[in-house]
Amino acid sequence: MSTLSHAARIAWKDLRIELRSREILYTMTFFGGLLAVVYSFVFPSNADMIKIAVPGMLWVSIAFAGTIGLSRAFDRERENDTMRALLLAPIPRLSVFLGKAFAIAVLVLGVAIVVTPMLWLLLDVRLFDQPGVLMLSLVLGSIGFALVGSVFSAALIKVRSRDVLLPVILYPLLIPLFVAGTSVTAGMLAGNDDKVWYWMGFLGIYDAAFLVVSLWIFESLVIE
Amino acid sequence: MSRYLAPVFTVLGAIGLVYSFWLVFNDTPLQYSMQPSDRHVVLATGSGSLFFNQKIFFWHVPHAIMLFTAVGVAGVSSIAYLWKRNPKADDIALAAVQVATVFGAVTLLTGSIWAKAAWGHWWIWEKRLTMSLLLWLTLVGYLLVRRYAGASGERIAAGMAVFAMIGVPFIYTMVGAGDNHPQAGSEGNVATLNKDMMWPFWASMLTFLSWFIALTITRVQSARMEREVRELREKGLDSGVLES
């Protein structure tokens, strides 16, 4: 129990910093809006075509905005060298990881929740017909992204070229997650429930497997 | 004993290369596909016959199998490295990834050449093509991390190899059920190959397995020596025998 309560405390610390400055939230919202504008001239303005492309647009936005938010969130620990303090704290390393990953998941989810209405608004696609399904897929996607992302962001914290290496590491490992998320959204738009729940299950199992590996590997990757 | 392993497998590979080339060009029949019943693979795409291009199968398949084997080797040795902190395990992982990157590049190139002849496109987003490409990209990422992540690069890359291994079943499921990758043999595995092609195929398999082993052992040994030189140098600097 104490592992979880320590984790909650670390997560709350991260979220409180963000709530005070709102730095990541505002900049990511702006970035998400920019992406929607970019999409509007990258893809032909044909209603059918956009409908096919929107699931991909949504998850690519989450990937891009999430990556930037991720490196910013860990930069905060690096600037004051507080990552060392966290690791030295007399609490299990697992709590540090779980707290960090939870805070990141909430941030990524926040970005996703802001980007989705923008795509709906600017590209006129009915994304909100099944809000529950959409929300669940975004939650599962954010969790998977945050798990892998936190492991490698924490490991890269001392590396000079971390901003370049983070996507190099993350994207090949996360492609199954993004494909599954895109497929859930596509199935939802097409009204194909079988497809939606198949890929939702895929997302759930992916998250579970990567949670186990992350928990095991985090400690060996961040040792100073 | 281990000093002789790499030379022995190199010689085996060299002999095998000549022998299997000769077998493949001399003994295997020119045909549309691996089995007459598989002609639909070619005919369905309407791009004509394969004839000579089919022979690339004898290099493509062994390389692809070595690619997947190497990802497993790298993943398992990375787990061992992260667990026991034994740098020898890390040497094996690095060597496996380096060799797998080369084998993977050969797989993708030979596959592309075949695909151009059979399907009329250099690349299509088919199940195993996508899977191999993703794995290969992960391996290249691993090498980039090792090279540019400085002192902690080894640990981070090892973590990447573990995640990559765990990710393989997900990639496999992800790329979907519609596998129209050409199958070898009448029942879709190499045990049911045509009799004419059976021995050339296995000769080719053994050849590239020998190359794979020889290259991996050589890479492991050189990684080990590089580490020893580095450690000796540090020791010399510490004791003042060497000047920086």
Segment B10-24, tens digit of pLDDT = 899 899 888 888 887
Q: Which residues of B179-198 are buried (b: 16+ CB within 10 A; e: fewer)?
A: eeebbbbeeeebeebbeebe
Task: Determine the pLDDT at residue B3.
Answer: 78
A49 touches B: beta carbon within 8 Å: no
Residues constituting chain B: 244
Top-confidence residue, B48 or A221:
A221
Amino acid (1-letter code) at residue B92: I
pLDDT: which is higher, A54 or B44 = A54
- 3-state per-residue secondary structure call for A3-30: HHHHHHHHHHHHHHHHHHHCHHHHHHHH
Which residues of chain B lie closer than 8 angstroms to A202, CB-CB? 170, 173-174
Note the pLDDT of residue B44.
38
Domain that holds residue A45: 2-222
Q: Which residue has the higher pLDDT, B5 or B38?
A: B5
Q: How many CB atoms lie within 10 A of CB A54?
A: 24
Q: Flag if A217 and B159 touch (Cβ within 8 Å).
A: yes
CA distances A95 to A19, A90, B33, B48, B160, Å, are: 21, 10, 57, 61, 22
| Residue B45 main-chain phi, psi, to 5 deg | -90, -5
Least confident of A96-100, B38-42, B60-64, B112-116: B38-42
DSSP state, residue B29: P
Cβ–Cβ < 8 Å for A45, A130: no
Of A148, A168, A217, the CB nearest to B144: A168
Nearest CA among A97, A38, A39, A126 for reference residue A216:
A97
Chain A residues in contact with B78 by the CB 8 A cut-off are: none
Q: pLDDT category, B31, cuts 50, 70, 90?
A: low
Q: What is the pLDDT of residue A110?
A: 87
Share of chain B above pLDDT 90, in %: 23
Burial of A189-223, coded b for 16+ CB within 10 Å and e otherwise, reads beeeeeebeebbebbeebbebbbebbbebbebbbe
Distance CA A199, CA A205 (A): 10
Q: Which residues of B touch A (CB under 8 A)?
A: 82-83, 134, 137-138, 141, 144-145, 148-150, 152-153, 155-156, 159-160, 162-164, 166-167, 170-171, 173-174
CB distance B152–A155 less than 8 Å?
Answer: yes
Asked if A172 and B162 come within 8 Å (Cβ–Cβ), the reply is no
Q: Domain segments of chain B: what residues? A: 59-239
The residues near B239 (Cβ < 8 Å, ≥ 6 apart) are none
* Cα angle B19, B23, B28; round to 5: 165
C-alpha B110/C-alpha B150 separation (Å) is 34
pLDDT value of position B194: 65
Tell me what pLDDT residue B192 has: 58
- Residue B36: band (very low, low, confident or very high) from pLDDT cuts 50, 70, 90: very low
Give me the pLDDT at residue B37, please. Answer: 46
**Between B102 and B153, whose confidence is greater?**
B102
8 Å CB contact between A54 and A126: no
CB contact under 8 A, A155 and B160: no
Task: From chain B, pick out residues whose CB is under 8 angstroms from the CB of A207.
Answer: none
Q: What is the pLDDT of residues B163-172, one digit of tens each?
A: 988 888 887 7
Q: Band the pLDDT of B200: cuts 50, 70, 90.
A: confident
Does A169 contact B141 at a Cβ distance shorter than 8 Å? yes
Write down the pLDDT at residue A99: 92
> To the nearest whole number, what is the mean pLDDT of chain B?
79
pLDDT confidence of residue B181: 62
Task: Check residues A39 and B120 and name the one with the higher pLDDT.
Answer: A39
Task: Chain A: give the shortest CA distance to residue B41, in Å.
Answer: 27
What angle in degrees, to the nearest 10, is found between the helix axes of A93-123 and A2-21? 40
Read off the pLDDT of each residue in B34-44 and give the average, rounded to a whole number. 43
Candidate from B134, B149, B174 with C-beta closest to A172: B134
Rounded Cα–Cα distance for residues B221 and B235 (Å): 21
pLDDT of residue B40: 42
If you average pLDDT over residues B25-38, what whole number do you get?
57
Average pLDDT over residues B205-221: 90
Q: What is the pLDDT of residue A77?
A: 85
Nearest chain A CA: its distance from B168 CA (Å): 10
pLDDT of amino acid A42: 81
Q: What is the pLDDT of residue B187?
A: 47
Write down the pLDDT at residue B35. 45
Whether residue B138 and residue A172 make contact (CB cut-off 8 A), yes or no, is yes
pLDDT, position B159 = 92
Look at A172 and B164 and tell me if their CB atoms are within 8 Å: yes
Nearest Cα neighbor of A184 from A142, A114, A136, A128 is A136
How many CB pairs (< 8 A) connect A and B? 81
pLDDT of residue B137: 92
Residue B180 has pLDDT above 60, yes or no: no
pLDDT in tens, chain A (224 residues): 688 898 999 899 888 988 898 888 888 888 888 888 888 788 777 777 777 888 888 899 889 888 888 888 888 888 888 888 888 888 888 898 999 999 999 988 988 888 888 888 887 777 888 888 999 999 999 999 999 999 999 888 888 888 889 999 999 899 889 989 998 999 998 888 888 999 999 999 999 999 999 998 988 888 76
Question: What pLDDT does B33 receive?
Answer: 47
Percent of chain A as helix, strand, coil, to the nearest 5 = 85, 0, 15
Give B75-89 pLDDT, tens digit per residue: 999 999 999 888 889
Is residue B183 very low, low, confident or very high in pLDDT (cuts 50, 70, 90)? low
Domain count, chain A: 1
- Residue in A169, A202, A205 closest to B160 by CB: A169
Residue B39: pLDDT band (50, 70, 90) is very low
